[in-house]
Structure 1
Amino acid sequence: MATGYVVILSLLAGVVGFTTSITGMSNAAQWDASNLYAASASSLITWSLTLLAMGFACKEIEIGWSGTTLRALEAVLITVSGSQLFGMIAIHAGIEELSRYGGGRV
Structure 2
Amino acid sequence: MKSCIVVDDSRVIRMVARKILEELGFEVIEAEDGQMALDACKKSMPDGVLLDWNMPVMDGLQFLKELRKLPNGGDPKVVFCTTENDLNHIQEAISAGADEYIMKPFDSEIVSSKFAQVGLL
Regarding TM over 0.5, the answer is no
Taking CA–CA contacts closer than 8 Å with sequence separation of 6 or more, which of the two structures ends up with the larger relative contact order? 1
Q: How does the TM-score come out when normalised to structure 1?
A: 0.29
Task: Compare CA radii of gyration and give the structure with the larger one.
Answer: 1
Whose helix fraction is larger, Structure 1's or Structure 2's?
Answer: 1
